[in-house]
Structure formats: C-alpha cells, structure tokens
A and B are shown apart, each in its own frame.
Chain A
Amino acid sequence: MAQAEGRMLPEVTPDSRAFWTGGFDGELRINRCQACRQWIHPPVGACWKCRSRDVAPEVASGRGTIAAYTINQHPWFPAFPPPYVVALVELEEQPGLRLTTCLVDVDIDAVEVGMAVEVVFDVQDDVALPLFRAVAA
C-alpha cells in the first residue's frame, strides 16, 4: 500500500497500542466493554454506555460499510498528495461504531454511502494502519 507514504503517524499510547498494532497479526482490535459488550472507539478507559471500567480490546471482523466520505483535494501533507478518500466506516459489529479511515484501491467516482468495505493493513514503522477497500461484489 504505497499510498500511505507521507502520512503523519500516530503517537501510540497504552490505550491505543492494541488498535495500532493488531494489524501485525492481521487483526482489527477495538476496545469492548466486558460488562455490557458495547464496542468503544476511540478507546477510553470506561464504557460510556454502562460506565463499567472493565474494557479491553477484542478482535472485530474488519468488515463494515461507508457511513460518510469526503474526497480530499487539498495538499495538507506535501508527501501525501490528493486526491484521496477519507471515510467514516461503520463496522458491522455495532450501529454507530465508526472509524475515520482512508479508502484505498477504489474508484473515487464509485464511492457511496452504504458501500461494503473490508480492512487492509498498511505497515509504517511500528504501526499497522487500518485502511479499507471495497469488497468485491
């Protein structure tokens, strides 16, 4: 996935380490409440739904649909040239559980809300970024 060169990489924290490194094992790891089973992203130290402090990363399917997207045309990062598609991907695990991410290997004109996508990981240094591509029909 050469598209990722020039991205600004994330500062990995204890809370986010599972998310940023699960891809080295081919896994999309998302925090989940162990009490009420709510998935939670971005990761925080409690469950906003039931307020349990017992949250831990679990493996999500990596499948979802596009909830919203934008075609970025502005060169925010000189080494990461536009156009590229930024999307909110809603994971199939739970309504409203979304990742802000990039779509790769897609026909920009064909992107639409509701389109099925799946995770692919892009390894950069010590992190594996979860990007998404269209699921073949």
Chain B
Amino acid sequence: MTFVENRAVISGVGQSQIGRRIGRTGIDLALEAAERAVAHAGLSFDDIDGVASYPGPVAAEAGFVGAATHDVRDAFGLRTTWHVSGVETSGQIGTLLDAAAAVASGRATHVLCFRSVWEATAQAAGRAAALTSKMSRASGHSEFRMPFGAASPANWIAMYAQRYMHEFGLTREQIGKLVINSRTNAALNPNAIYRDPMTMEDYLNARMVSWPFGLFDCDIPADGATAVIVSRREATSGLARPPITIEGAGAALYERHTWDQRTDLTTMASHDVAASMWKTTRFTAADVDFATLYDGFSYLTTQWIEALGFAEHGKVGQFLDDEDNYRLDGRLPINPHGGQLSAGRLHGYGFLHEACVQLWREAGERQIAKDVELAAVGVGGGPEAGCMLLHLTD
C-alpha cells in the first residue's frame, strides 16, 4: 500500500516575510508566499488549478486566519477546478493531504496550498480592547475548560506533560535540551525570530506559564505565510527542481475530539496518525534522515519522537539525553530551522517548508551536512494531528 499511489509530489515552496508585529495583513502575506512558491516551482499562476488552505474562514482569535482560499483566488484571478479549506481536518496539514488526493485522482494538476497567520500584529492591536471588554460565556469546545481557568492549550497540554513526566520520569532539563537545540539551529536561520543563544539556566529560570511549561516551552505568535505547491507527478517534467514525493501520510484519528478523555494520557493523536502513516510506505523509522516535528509546546515534539518510532514509548528522556540523536550534525536532526519555539508560529506549515528546503539542499547555513533524502513531518498536538513522509530522489 502507498499513499495515493505516489502520484502526488511537492514541486515548490515559498514563504513571506516573517516577524513579530510587522503590521501587514494576512492576505498580503499569503499573496507574497504564493508568488514565491509558484515561482520556486517554475510555474505560472495560469498553471494553478486548485487551492487548499487551513483553516479557511472560521470564527477564531484575531490573526489566526490570514486569508481564505477565495481571497487568493480572487487576487490573482485564478481559474481553478478544485478548492478546499477547513479546520476539521487532521492537524494543520490535513487539507494538504486532501490536495494530494485531488491531484492523484485528476481533479486538479497543481494545487496552491497555504497557511497565513498574523497573530503577532493582531494580538498587539487587540490587547487593550480585550482587557476592557465584558467576558462572554464559554461555549462550544471550551465550555468544560474555561470555567476552571484552563484557558489555553498551555494548560491542557501541560497536564499531558505532567502525567507523562510522572509515569516515565521525563525531566524539565531533558525537555530543555530539545528547546535549546532548536534555538541553536535558529541562530543559523536568518528568518527565525529568536536567534540569541539560550542556556539551560535561561530555560529553567524563565517565567513559569503553567507548570511544567515556562515561557520557552511555548511558541511565539508571529506574522507570516507559507505556501506549498502540490502537483501531479506526470505534470512536473521540466519544472525548476526534482519533485518531492509525498511517500507516506497519516491522517487517522481514533479517539474523541477532546483534550481530556484520551484513553492513555501519555499518548496523543500523533500516535494514531503515525501508526497509519507507516502502513502507507515500505520505509521504516530507521530510514528517516531528519524530522521536522511540531512544537507549539515543547512537549509535543517529544510525543512526535515517540509516535513516529524514533524512541520507544516512555524512553524519550533517554533519547534527549544524547544530543547526538537530534542535533544538526547528529543521527536524526530535528527542527533545523528552530521550530515554532524559535522561528515563530507559522502554524504547522513551517515544518513542511523546512523539510522541503532541506531535501532540495537550499537551507543555507543550516543545511544538514549529510545526504538527506527522506524526511518525516509531524504537525499538531492533543486530539489533532497529521504527518507525512517526504522522499526526494534525483
């Protein structure tokens, strides 16, 4: 079994300007990323016949939704045959997996997939208003959390982390090694937001947010957009670079969509999607050259490491003790760009972008030195996750 018969590939990627409070709209950023991705692939906008985005025009906190698919289609006058966006999908890259299925089945040939956020600018503008506005009642998914002060994913995920630490002895210092590794990598990434070196002391002494999470366990709201072109393999001859095959993908969700009812609190939906991904490929975890793993909160990366099979369940602490396992020149480099913790919350798509850039050997100073042809990408946390295995052969 293979994922969509290996007919879907990535032909180009692009990112907008990225930063804190840069004062540009989400649509502006989305258009910039789209222009760069289309040019990077060696395509023109006349070739684009599909558009996919996460999450689309949904009610959400300010800046979370940068642009809808219609915004980008309208702006560039695209003539498209297939479109999708949605928040009810498998992690932030779920609609991209739908795009892969769309090109494989002939509904589109080149799909522009994007994620745009401008949370840094929007939050700065809205902060004063939010403090003075009357609190409304908690409804929908937050009805059973907000009244107890569990206001943020920081709280919900901290409880998973605490239970895992209790069960398996994982320490803050071990998690901190992963955070520091990301910061070390970010120093080599000109687009990262935080590039100053971080020591273990800095990490441990940072302001506590929700124990065991301190400030540096939480990612940074950012402004920025990422675009990825998913193409049908047969349509990529003569394009700018060799296509990256979407070799495997996982979108399985097997438990309730809640943050507190998962049967085993020491696993997450990442375990469901990873298990289903490995069924779509002949490769195994041992074949993977590097990984880009979601870190909206530091602990989520440790979950991905175990879910994807890079460390045995319960043993990620030992994995983290040996930095040769995951540093840039190690056996399995993790988050060469700095992840969302240091490079900014591009909300999932940043990990996909980095995996492609590394496979094409276009990562500049942070380029992984060894040969890399197989990358694992894991995106999401809690009850929401999606993952991919990307393969480049020349």
A residues apposed to B, CB below 8 Å: 7-11, 13, 16, 41-42, 48, 67-74, 76-78, 80, 84, 86-88, 96, 98-102, 112-113, 127, 129, 131
Between-chain CB contacts (< 8 Å), 9 pairs: A9-B137, A16-B144, A67-B163, A69-B159, A72-B149, A72-B209, A74-B154, A100-B150, A113-B163
Q: Does B131 sit within 8 A of A, measured CB to CB?
A: yes
The answer on a CB contact under 8 Å between B166 and A88 is no
The answer on a CB contact under 8 Å between B135 and A8 is yes
Determine which of A67, A76, A88, A129 lies in contact with B152 in the assembled complex, contact meaning CB atoms within 8 Å: A76
How many residues of B are in contact with the other chain, CB < 8 A? Answer: 39
The answer on a CB contact under 8 Å between B209 and A74 is yes
CB distance from B332 to the nearest CB of A (A): 29
Given known A-B contacts A42-B143, A67-B163, A96-B261, A86 and B150 have beta carbons under 8 A apart = yes
The answer on a CB contact under 8 Å between A10 and B149 is no
The answer on a CB contact under 8 Å between B131 and A78 is yes
Q: Does B361 sit within 8 A of A, measured CB to CB?
A: no
Chain B contacts with A in 108-157, Cβ cutoff 8 A: 131, 135-139, 143-152, 154-156
The residue of chain B having its C-beta at the shortest distance from the C-beta of A4 within the complex is B147
0/1 string, B186-205, CB within 8 A of A gives 1: 00000000000000000000
Q: Tell me the bound Cα distance from A78 to B212 in angstroms.
A: 22
The residue of chain A having its C-beta at the shortest distance from the C-beta of B256 within the complex is A48
Q: Tell me the bound Cα distance from A11 to B136 in angstroms.
A: 9
Q: Which residues from chain A contact B136 at a C-beta distance below 8 Å? A: 8
Q: Which residues from chain A contact B208 at a C-beta distance below 8 Å? A: 71, 73
Q: Which residues from chain A contact B159 at a C-beta distance below 8 Å? A: 68-70, 86-88
The answer on a CB contact under 8 Å between B138 and A77 is no
The residue of chain A having its C-beta at the shortest distance from the C-beta of B159 within the complex is A68
Query: Which of A41, A86, A96 counts the most chain B CB atoms within 10 A?
Result: A86
The 6 closest A-B pairs by CB, nearest first: A11-B139, A76-B151, A70-B158, A68-B163, A11-B137, A68-B159
Q: Which residues from chain A contact B211 at a C-beta distance below 8 Å? A: 70-73
0/1 string, B76-100, CB within 8 A of A gives 1: 0000000000000000000000000
The answer on a CB contact under 8 Å between A100 and B210 is no
The answer on a CB contact under 8 Å between B261 and A11 is no
Q: Tell me the bound Cα distance from A129 to B136 in angstroms.
A: 17
The answer on a CB contact under 8 Å between B146 and A113 is no
Q: Tell me the bound Cα distance from A80 to B284 in angstroms.
A: 49
Q: Tell me the bound Cα distance from A74 to B143 in angstroms.
A: 20
Query: Which of A13, A72, A73 counts the most chain B CB atoms within 10 A?
Result: A72
Determine which of A10, A42, A78 lies in contact with B258 in the assembled complex, contact meaning CB atoms within 8 Å: A42
The answer on a CB contact under 8 Å between A9 and B160 is no
CB distance from A73 to the nearest CB of B (A): 4
The answer on a CB contact under 8 Å between B265 and A102 is no
0/1 string, B298-329, CB within 8 A of A gives 1: 00000000000000000000000000000000
Q: Tell me the bound Cα distance from A98 to B163 in angstroms.
A: 14
Q: Tell me the bound Cα distance from A74 to B213 in angstroms.
A: 11
Chain B contacts with A in 249-276, Cβ cutoff 8 A: 256, 258-261, 263, 265
Q: Does B6 sit within 8 A of A, measured CB to CB?
A: no
The answer on a CB contact under 8 Å between B209 and A86 is no
Q: Tell me the bound Cα distance from A73 to B211 in angstroms.
A: 8
Q: Which residues from chain A contact B149 at a C-beta distance below 8 Å? A: 7, 72, 76-77, 80, 84, 86, 102
Q: Which residues from chain A contact B139 at a C-beta distance below 8 Å? A: 10-11, 13
CB distance from B391 to the nearest CB of A (A): 37
Q: Tell me the bound Cα distance from A100 to B159 in angstroms.
A: 10
Q: Which residues from chain B contact A101 at a C-beta distance below 8 Å? A: 148
CB distance from A109 to the nearest CB of B (A): 11
The answer on a CB contact under 8 Å between A41 and B163 is no
Q: Tell me the bound Cα distance from A99 to B145 in angstroms.
A: 9
Q: Tell me the bound Cα distance from A69 to B160 in angstroms.
A: 8
Determine which of A11, A41, A69, A96 lies in contact with B138 in the assembled complex, contact meaning CB atoms within 8 Å: A11
Q: Tell me the bound Cα distance from A129 to B212 in angstroms.
A: 26
A sample of 14 more A-B contacts (CB under 8 A), given A10-B138, A88-B163, A96-B261, is: A8-B137, A8-B151, A10-B143, A67-B163, A72-B149, A72-B211, A74-B152, A74-B210, A77-B151, A80-B149, A86-B155, A100-B144, A100-B260, A113-B163
